[in-house]
A and B are shown apart, each in its own frame.
Chain A
Amino acid sequence: MDFITVPDISVLVLQLMNGLTRAMILFIIASGLTLILGTCGIVNFFHGSLYMLGAYLCYSLALFLGNYWAALVLAPIAVAFLGGFIEVALLRRIYKADLLMQLLLTFALVLVASDVVRLVWGPAYKMLEAPSIVAGSISILGAQWPNFAGFILGLGPAVALGLWFFLYKTRAGRIVRAIALDEEIVSILGIDVRRVLTLVFMLGCLLAGFGGALQAPLVALNITMDSSVIVESFIVVVVGGLGSIWGALLGAVIIGVTHSFGIMIMPRVALVSIFVVMGIVLIVRPWGLMGTPLSKLAR
C-alpha cells in the first residue's frame, strides 16, 4: 500500500486547519451562489469568473494602493457593480427562461471573462504577499500556521452570521425571502421586485469577489482558477441544500476537509473524493443536508 501515508499529529492538525481555511473561502463564494440561486432562480455559471475577477482586481489594487486591506474592500465592490451591470443588461432577460438558457448565457460570459483576464493581466502566474499585520504565524500542536489563515477562519462564520441576520432579522431580508417564495405576491404589495433582484444579485457577486480577494494572498493567481472553483461551489451548494446559507457552510466544511485529507492520505483519489461525497448526498438525500424536501428547486 505505497500510496497511503500515515502522518503524525502536527501534520494532521495543519491539514485540518488548511482544509477549514479553504472551506471558509469556498463557503463565502458558495453563499453568494446559493443566494442568487435561491432568490433569482439563476444557475450562475459565471460565479467562478466573478471570484477570479475579484482576486485579480484585489491583486492590482493592492499593488496600486500599497494596501491590501483597502483592496480587500474595494475589489469586491467593483465586482458587485460589474455583476449589477450584467444582471440589468443580460440576466434579467432570462429569469423566466429554462435552466439551459441560463447555463448557456452564463457559460458564454465565462468564456469572455476568462479571455478578458488573460488580455488584461496576461497568462503568467501572479503572487501577492500576505498583508504585514497578519503575516506571522502561530504554533498549534507543533504545527506552524499562518495568522492570515486564522483571520479567514474567523471570517467565514462571521459572514454566515451576517447573512443569516440580514435574511431573517431585517425587513429587507424578509422581502428577499418573500420573493424567493412568490415574486408575484410581493410585487402586488408595491415592492419593486426587479430592483431587489438586482441588489440580491449584486450581493451574491460581492461575496464571490470577496472570496477571490481573500484568496489572492494565499495562492498564485492564474487564468484557470475560475473553473475549479465554480464546480466546487456548485458541489457545496448541492450538498448543503439549494438556497440554504447554513447548508452552504456545512457543505463547504465537508468538501474542504474531505479534499484536504484526501490529498494527504490518498493523493490519487483526492480529486474524486468530493464528487463521491456529492454523489452519495444526491442519491441518499437529494434535497441536500440542510435543504427541505419540498423546496421547488429540488425537483
Chain B
Amino acid sequence: MTLVSTRRWPWAAAVVIILIGLSFFLPLFYIHLAATMLCMVLFAISYNLILGYSGMVSFGHGMFLGIGGYVYALLATKTSVPMWLSLAAAPFVAGISAAIVGWFCTRLRGILFAMLTLAFSMMVYSLAHQWYGFTGGDDGIVGIPVPKVIASEQSYFCFVALVTMSALLVLLRLTRSPFAATLTGSRENIERMGFIGIELRRYEIVMFAISGFFSGLAGVLLSLINRQIFPAWMHWSTSAEPIIMCMLGGSGTFFGPVIGAVVMTGLKYWLPTYTIYWQLVLGIILLPLVLFFRRGISGFVMNSVMSRARK
C-alpha cells in the first residue's frame, strides 16, 4: 500500500519525463499512437468514475468526448476566441452538458439508465451528423487550427502527456476522497445510504458531471492531435469503447482502465494492419477474458500477487 499512501506527484512526474524522453526516439506513427493512447486512458478513467465507483453504466459517453472536441473545433474555426481559451472552455461545456444529462438519467437504474444515456447521445450525434451548415455534417470538421506552441508532433505529445497525467492525479485524488467513498457505498447498498440520510442523486449528478468534464478534456486532446473531428465520435459504438476498456483492464481498481485503454487502442491500431477480420480476432480475445477473468487484467494480476503473498 506504500504506493498509495506516499505522495503521488513524483511518480506522475517520472512517467511524464519518461514519456517525453521516449518521444525523442519514437517514429511519428508511434508518437501519434501513444498520444491517442493517453487520450483514451483519460477517457476510460473518467468513464470508470461512474462505472467503477458508482455502478452506473452509461451508454452515451461518446457524447461528452464529442462535445469537448466539437466545442474546441467550432470555436477555433468559426470564431476569433483565443485558442487557449477555447481549449480551456471546451471541457467545461462538456461538464455542464453532463450535469444536465445526468440530472435526467440518475432517476433511473441499470439498463434503463444506459438506454436514456444512449438516447441523449444519439440526439447529439444526429445534431452533429445532420446540421451541415454548423457542424459540417458527416464530413466533420477538418483542419482544426491548434496553438503554434503545440503544433509539431513532439510538442503536442508533450502537451498531451502533461495534461493527461495532471488530470489523472486530480482524478486519483478524487477517487480517494470521502465523496467517492459515498458513491461506492451507493453501489454496494443503495437503501442503506438513504437510511443514513445521504441524498445520493446529488452525488451521482456531480460525479457524472466530473466524468463528462474529463471525457470532454480527452475529446479536446484527441481533436488537437488529429486536427479533425467527426460525428462518429459521438455514435454509440464509440460510447461502447470505454466500457470494454474498463472491463478489459478491470473496473475495480483505479489503474485497471489504463491497461484496458492501452491494450484496446493498441489492438485497434495493430490488428487491421494484419487482417481485415480484426473484429473476429478482437471478439475471440474478449470472450475468454469475460468468462475467466471476471475482474479484468488488473484483477487477475492482483489476485495472483495476493495469493503468492499469502504463501
Chain A residues packing against B (C-beta within 8 Å): 43, 90, 93-94, 97, 99-101, 103-105, 107-112, 114-116, 118-119, 227, 231, 234-235, 238, 242, 268-269, 271-272, 275-276, 278-279, 282-283, 286, 297-299
The verdict on B279 contacting chain A, using a C-beta distance below 8 Å, is yes
In the complex, which residues 88-135 of chain B have their Cβ closer than 8 Å to any Cβ of chain A? 104, 107-112, 114-116, 118-120, 122-123, 126-127, 129-130
Binds A, one of B207-215, B235-243, B298-306: B235-243
**Do A111 and B283 form a contact, CB below 8 Å, given A238-B112, A282-B115?**
yes
Docked Cα-Cα span, A100 to B256, in Å, equals 15
**Could you tell me the distance in whole angstroms from the C-beta of B287 to the nearest C-beta in chain A?**
5
Complex partner residue of A271 from B51, B109, B119, B126, CB under 8 angstroms:
B126
Docked Cα-Cα span, A219 to B108, in Å, equals 37
Encode B275-305 as 1/0 by CB contact (under 8 A) with A. Answer: 0111110111011001100100000000000
A282 engages B279 (CB within 8 Å):
no
21 interchain pairs (CB within 8 A)? A99-B57, A101-B290, A108-B282, A108-B284, A110-B283, A112-B280, A114-B279, A115-B278, A118-B277, A231-B118, A242-B111, A269-B126, A272-B123, A272-B126, A272-B130, A275-B122, A276-B119, A276-B123, A279-B123, A282-B108, A282-B112
Residues of B contacting A112 with CB < 8 Å? 279-280, 283-284, 287
Docked Cα-Cα span, A263 to B298, in Å, equals 47
Docked Cα-Cα span, A8 to B110, in Å, equals 44
A108 engages B237 (CB within 8 Å):
no
Which single residue of chain B is at the shortest CB-CB distance from A45?
A: B240
B111 engages A43 (CB within 8 Å):
yes
The verdict on B247 contacting chain A, using a C-beta distance below 8 Å, is yes
Residues of B contacting A99 with CB < 8 Å? 57, 110-111, 114
**Could you tell me the distance in whole angstroms from the C-beta of B50 to the nearest C-beta in chain A?**
12
Which single residue of chain B is at the shortest CB-CB distance from A110?
A: B283
Docked Cα-Cα span, A271 to B107, in Å, equals 26
The verdict on B206 contacting chain A, using a C-beta distance below 8 Å, is no
Docked Cα-Cα span, A93 to B51, in Å, equals 22
B286 engages A108 (CB within 8 Å):
yes
Residues of B contacting A269 with CB < 8 Å? 126, 130
Complex partner residue of A279 from B109, B111, B116, CB under 8 angstroms:
B116
Known: A108-B286, A227-B237. 6 other contacts (CB 8 A): A108-B284, A111-B282, A112-B287, A242-B111, A272-B130, A286-B107
Docked Cα-Cα span, A90 to B104, in Å, equals 35
Residues of A contacting B130 with CB < 8 Å? 268-269, 271-272
Docked Cα-Cα span, A236 to B287, in Å, equals 28
A115 engages B279 (CB within 8 Å):
yes
In the complex, which residues 31-61 of chain B have their Cβ closer than 8 Å to any Cβ of chain A? 51, 57
Residues of B contacting A242 with CB < 8 Å? 111
A298 engages B247 (CB within 8 Å):
no
Residues of A contacting B232 with CB < 8 Å? none
Docked Cα-Cα span, A43 to B286, in Å, equals 17
Residues of A contacting B284 with CB < 8 Å? 108, 112
**Do A275 and B119 form a contact, CB below 8 Å, given A108-B290, A111-B286, A269-B130?**
yes
Residues of B contacting A298 with CB < 8 Å? 112
**Could you tell me the distance in whole angstroms from the C-beta of B109 to the nearest C-beta in chain A?**
5
Count: A-B pairs, CB below 8 Å: 114
In the complex, which residues 239-276 of chain B have their Cβ closer than 8 Å to any Cβ of chain A? 240, 243-244, 247, 251, 276
Residues of B contacting A110 with CB < 8 Å? 283
Residues of B contacting A111 with CB < 8 Å? 279-280, 282-283, 286
Most interface-central of A111, A268, A286 (chain B CB within 10 A): A111
Residues of A contacting B115 with CB < 8 Å? 234-235, 238, 278, 282
Residues of A contacting B280 with CB < 8 Å? 111-112, 115-116, 119
Most interface-central of A231, A268, A272 (chain B CB within 10 A): A272
Docked Cα-Cα span, A266 to B78, in Å, equals 27
Residues of A contacting B278 with CB < 8 Å? 115
Residues of A contacting B240 with CB < 8 Å? 107
A115 engages B277 (CB within 8 Å):
yes
Most interface-central of B104, B110, B251 (chain A CB within 10 A): B110
**Could you tell me the distance in whole angstroms from the C-beta of A214 to the nearest C-beta in chain B?**
25
Docked Cα-Cα span, A118 to B275, in Å, equals 13
B244 engages A286 (CB within 8 Å):
no
Docked Cα-Cα span, A9 to B236, in Å, equals 37
B104 engages A109 (CB within 8 Å):
no
**Could you tell me the distance in whole angstroms from the C-beta of A222 to the nearest C-beta in chain B?**
15
Docked Cα-Cα span, A235 to B282, in Å, equals 27
Docked Cα-Cα span, A93 to B283, in Å, equals 18
Residues of A contacting B244 with CB < 8 Å? 104, 107
Residues of B contacting A297 with CB < 8 Å? 110-111
Docked Cα-Cα span, A281 to B302, in Å, equals 43
Which single residue of chain A is at the shortest CB-CB distance from B240?
A: A107
Which single residue of chain A is at the shortest CB-CB distance from B236?
A: A231
**Do A279 and B57 form a contact, CB below 8 Å, given A90-B287, A111-B283?**
no
